[in-house]
Amino acid sequence: MLIVLSGPSGVGKGTVRQAMVNKYGQQFKYSISMTTRKPRPGEVDGVDYYFVSKAEFEEEIANGGMLEYAQYVDNYYGTPLKYVNQTLESGQDVLLEIEVNGAMQVRSKVSDGVFIFLAPPDLHELQDRIVKRGTDDTATIKKRMLQARQEINLMTNYDYVVVNDQVDSAVNRIEQIIASEHLRVARVLSTYQKMLGDN
């Protein structure tokens, strides 16, 4: 099952994803995104993102190597396709933590994915989080807030909305969603049809 976690910049996608990996990491594989932005303090190449040049990213696009990609605040972000396909084919769930534009691309390609929108409690809280990160200048913060308003309007394209008021609570809600999705008839029907056909 492909699980897509996205939401506006600053909502805490990375924090929630890391908490999920720490708590439930044996239950799914996290697909590391690729980006052309510079690493933030403490971020590690190949762990948080694959940090590449613009030319390298555009070569992957040209070669059809991306499940999705988007240009966001002057940088590319995207999901390498090969790892996702191999992991799903091996029977394991894959978790993507991606931007909203990327999630819309995946939605058009993977109809049975589980799409979860991580939302802020309110816009003031979202702006406070972006400012407290200390990584963006005033002009970039304004761009991010304008983008966030547009992205929140796109939540209608998702299956679930989880408010990130407290990280632990958000992680628990997402785990409940994943557990429920595994019980959907459409996901287990083929197993039972095969069983009945063998009798």
Rounded CA gap, 149 and 10, in Å? Answer: 12
CA dihedral 165, 136, 23, 3 (to 10 degrees): 90
> Is 14 labelled as part of a ligand binding site?
yes
How many DSSP H helices and E strands does the chain contain? 8, 9
The residues, any chain, with a CB within 8 Å of residue 92's CB and separated by 6 or more, are 28, 29
Rounded CA gap, 71 and 178, in Å? Answer: 29
Q: How many CA atoms lie within 13 A of 64 on its CB side?
A: 0
> Is 64 labelled as part of a ligand binding site?
no
> Is 9 labelled as part of a ligand binding site?
yes
Residue 8 near residue 120, CB atoms below 8 Å:
yes
The residues, any chain, with a CB within 8 Å of residue 124's CB and separated by 6 or more, are none
> Is 46 labelled as part of a ligand binding site?
no
Rounded CA gap, 152 and 134, in Å? Answer: 23
> Is 78 labelled as part of a ligand binding site?
no
Rounded CA gap, 177 and 171, in Å? Answer: 10
Annotated binding-site members: 7-14
Summarize the annotated binding site for ATP as residue ranges. 7-14
